[in-house]
């Protein structure tokens, strides 16, 4: 049905034409820009990633420029050092010539002075981008003893940028310094380290975690600045610092140690514990200087717990001894003949064991009516072995005469031996006689450390203008007035100073050469990284021109067809009008 009010065909054709025109615009934009993602509206995720990578590339490009400037400075200094090393060789040759008898040393000095002037000029000319690393003025506000060449950067997940640098120590390569520098050593704290990485100690036994569920305890006595306290780490303490006390990590243990130190009124604020890069446990005082002191000593664990060590000091030991009740009188031979028996009871108040001896007891004695000490000792031993006794008899002496000693198998201060029985006196004991076990605690040997005061050494300048053992600097040595035997001796010392200067300058050249190699390698890496980032950007946002060109041709054709369809749809109403003519 045809309607004068609404042309459905025309509206459909128009909608189709608009859709084709929209896709045609997108395709034309991709071809003209070369990108399928040119804005956040095209693909927000890809656009964001590509923008971040482009930003990284801009930073990498700046790093590459920095490396180029750094490389130029290193090359300039390196070339200057190479030239000066040759000059130093020439000075050494002149000094060897000056040692020849009859040589006019004042004439040789003229040649040496010319070489010295050339070295000075070379050092002062070794300037790159306003930087001179060979001839400096350490008193200048712009002087830096270390130059850091930006070599790269990293972006943390939070977006924070951290720049990596290659340090070049100018104080080790400078040849001339207008101002002398006093080398100072900062005051240092007292510090102690475990002998092995913490995971190699008995606490960890080679594992990545320690188990504190079975009664283990780390017991460490710490003394710092005259204050002493004992830190104990066991299952009760570690519950507060580790989520799983059966798998305590080195970091958990270090945190627990620091927390217990903070809780100690004697040690709080005086030292801290940390892990070194190789996994050893380190203790460092907050105080510095010779007054700072630190002592670590392993002590026995709490009663009922097992000691585990962190290898920060020799291990402590706890030795337990059995209770031993010594007979109060010497032994006299006893009579076991006929129906005679001798009975003694050994116990601890809770359990006991009764030994009964008669004519049938093994091994049989030579004379039952007079059983000797040795024979009765054998009988005790046979009975002990037969019943695997927890209470038994050992042998001792009293005034040179043999006597028995009643002993319990259990050891330590909680163990007891009590002697009873109707014939206790026959064995030399007083009925009811008792003894208690003992414990000997031996702490580990202490490990100590003291801090170090700051110090200042003799003022120094550059490698060539620092005075040597001869009283001369290589840059200013003068042999024109050296005569006689003393002059010859002084010339020998000057030659040794020059040899030392050659070694120092050669070492400086080696360091610069290593820096140059490092910088060149980093430049290659940065270039590769920039290209890699460019590829990533291309994968994310670049358009496939061949595909987009084909699509453009198809859309143009579709647009022409849609326009014809719209024209046909618009003409349908004119056909209806012709029916009324």
Checking 263-268 for CB contacts under 8 A at 24+ apart, the result is 264/229, 264/231, 265/229, 266/227, 266/228, 266/229, 267/222, 267/224, 267/227, 267/229
Element (H, E) at 61: helix 44-98
Of 175, 144, 35, 24, the closest CA to residue 539 belongs to 35
Answer whether residue 432 is part of any domain: yes
In this predicted model, what pLDDT tens digit does every residue of 493-547 receive, in sequence order? Answer: 888 888 988 998 888 888 888 888 888 888 888 888 888 887 887 777 666 666 6
Residues forming a β-bridge with 217: 307
Answer whether residue 366 is part of any domain: yes
Residue whose token pair is 């128009």: 14
Answer whether residue 447 is part of any domain: no
Asked if 507 and 468 sit in the same domain, the reply is yes
Please state the φ and ψ torsions of residue 402, each to the nearest 5 degrees: -70, 150
Please state the φ and ψ torsions of residue 338, each to the nearest 5 degrees: 65, -125
- pLDDT at residue 184, rounded to an integer: 59
pTM above 0.85, yes or no: no
Answer whether residue 487 is part of any domain: yes
Answer whether residue 395 is part of any domain: yes
Enclosing domain of residue 194: 189-318
Answer whether residue 140 is part of any domain: yes
Asked if 197 and 310 sit in the same domain, the reply is yes
Asked if 94 and 130 sit in the same domain, the reply is yes
Asked if 59 and 17 sit in the same domain, the reply is no
Asked if 300 and 332 sit in the same domain, the reply is no
Asked if 175 and 53 sit in the same domain, the reply is yes
Asked if 313 and 197 sit in the same domain, the reply is yes
Q: Is the previous residue joined to 296 through a cis bond, with omega within 30 degrees of 0?
A: no
- In total, how many domains does the chain have? 4
CB-based contacts of 183, cutoff 8 Å, min separation 6: 456, 457, 458, 460
Asked if 96 and 200 sit in the same domain, the reply is no
> Quick one: tokens of 97?
């010539």
Is beta strand 135-136 parallel, antiparallel or unpaired with respect to 176-177?
Answer: parallel
- pLDDT at residue 434, rounded to an integer: 92
Asked if 474 and 361 sit in the same domain, the reply is no
Q: What is the CATH number of the domain that holds 61?
A: 1.20.1330.10
Asked if 431 and 351 sit in the same domain, the reply is yes
Answer whether residue 356 is part of any domain: yes
User: Mean pLDDT of residues grouped by 10 in the chain (581 residues)?
Assistant: 62 74 69 69 77 79 82 87 90 88 87 91 87 84 80 71 78 83 72 82 78 84 89 87 87 90 91 86 89 86 77 66 88 91 91 90 90 90 79 79 88 88 92 86 72 65 83 86 84 88 88 84 85 79 68 72 71 65 61
In this predicted model, what pLDDT tens digit does every residue of 410-468 receive, in sequence order? Answer: 888 888 999 999 999 999 999 999 999 887 766 666 778 887 876 655 556 788 888 88
Asked if 219 and 332 sit in the same domain, the reply is no
Asked if 260 and 349 sit in the same domain, the reply is no
Answer whether residue 416 is part of any domain: yes
The answer to whether 538 and 46 have CB atoms below 8 angstroms apart is no
Q: How far is CA 46 from CA 43, 54, 208, 548, 567, in A?
A: 6, 12, 41, 19, 41
Q: What is the CATH number of the domain that holds 405?
A: 2.60.40
């Amino acid at each position: 049905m045809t309607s004068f009010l609404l042309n459905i065909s025309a509206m459909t054709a128009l909608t189709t034409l608009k859709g084709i025109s929209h896709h045609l615009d997108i395709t034309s934009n991709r071809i003209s820009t070369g990108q399928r993602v040119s804005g956040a509206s095209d693909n927000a995720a890809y656009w964001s990633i590509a923008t971040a990578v482009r930003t990284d590339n801009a930073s990498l490009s700046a790093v590459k420029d920095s490396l180029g400037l750094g490389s130029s400075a290193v090359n300039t200094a390196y070339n200057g050092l190479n030239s000066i090393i040759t000059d130093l060789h020439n000075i050494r040759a002149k000094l060897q010539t000056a040692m020849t008898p009859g040589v006019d040393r004042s004439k040789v000095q003229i040649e040496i002075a010319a070489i010295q002037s050339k070295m000075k000029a070379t050092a002062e000319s070794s300037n790159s981008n306003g930087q001179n690393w060979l001839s400096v003025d350490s008193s200048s506000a712009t002087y830096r003893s270390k130059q850091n060449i930006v070599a790269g950067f990293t972006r943390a997940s939070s977006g924070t940028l951290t720049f990596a640098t290659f340090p070049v120590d100018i104080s080790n390569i400078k040849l001339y310094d207008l101002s002398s520098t006093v080398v100072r050593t900062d005051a240092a704290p007292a510090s102690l380290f475990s002998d092995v990485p913490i995971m190699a100690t008995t606490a960890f036994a080679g594992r990545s975690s320690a188990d504190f569920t079975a009664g283990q305890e780390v017991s460490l006595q710490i003394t710092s600045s005259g204050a002493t306290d004992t830190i104990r780490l066991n299952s009760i303490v570690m519950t507060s610092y580790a989520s799983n006390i059966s798998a305590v990590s080195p970091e958990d243990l270090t945190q627990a140690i620091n927390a217990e130190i903070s809780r100690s009124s004697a040690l709080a604020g005086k030292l801290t514990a940390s892990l070194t890069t190789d996994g050893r446990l380190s203790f460092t005082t907050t105080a510095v200087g010779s007054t700072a002191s630190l002592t670590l000593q392993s002590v026995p664990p709490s009663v009922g717990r097992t000691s585990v060590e962190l290898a920060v000091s020799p291990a402590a030991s706890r030795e337990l001894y059995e209770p031993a009740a010594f007979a109060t009188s010497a032994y006299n031979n006893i009579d076991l003949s006929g129906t005679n028996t001798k009975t003694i009871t050994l116990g601890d108040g809770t359990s006991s064991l009764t030994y009964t001896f008669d004519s049938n007891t093994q091994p049989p004695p030579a004379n039952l009516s007079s059983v000797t000490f040795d024979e009765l000792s054998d009988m005790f031993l046979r009975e002990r072995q037969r019943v695997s006794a927890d209470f038994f008899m050992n042998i001792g002496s009293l005034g040179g005469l043999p006597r028995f000693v009643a002993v319990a198998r259990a050891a330590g201060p909680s163990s007891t031996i009590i002697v009873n029985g109707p014939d206790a006196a026959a064995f030399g004991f007083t009925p009811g006689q008792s003894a208690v076990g003992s414990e000997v605690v031996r702490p580990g040997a202490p490990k100590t450390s003291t801090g170090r005061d700051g110090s200042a050494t003799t003022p120094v300048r550059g490698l060539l203008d620092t005075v040597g053992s001869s009283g001369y600097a290589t840059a200013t040595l003068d042999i024109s007035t050296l005569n006689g035997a003393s002059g010859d001796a002084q010339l020998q010392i000057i030659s040794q100073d020059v040899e030392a200067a050659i070694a120092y300058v050669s070492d400086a050249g080696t360091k610069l050469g290593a820096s140059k190699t490092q910088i060149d390698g980093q430049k290659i890496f940065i270039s590769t990284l920039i290209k890699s980032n460019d590829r990533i950007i291309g994968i994310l946002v670049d358009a496939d021109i061949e595909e987009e060109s084909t699509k453009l041709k198809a859309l143009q054709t579709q647009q022409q067809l849609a326009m014809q369809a719209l024209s046909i749809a618009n003409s349908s109403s004119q056909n209806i009008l012709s029916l009324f003519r």
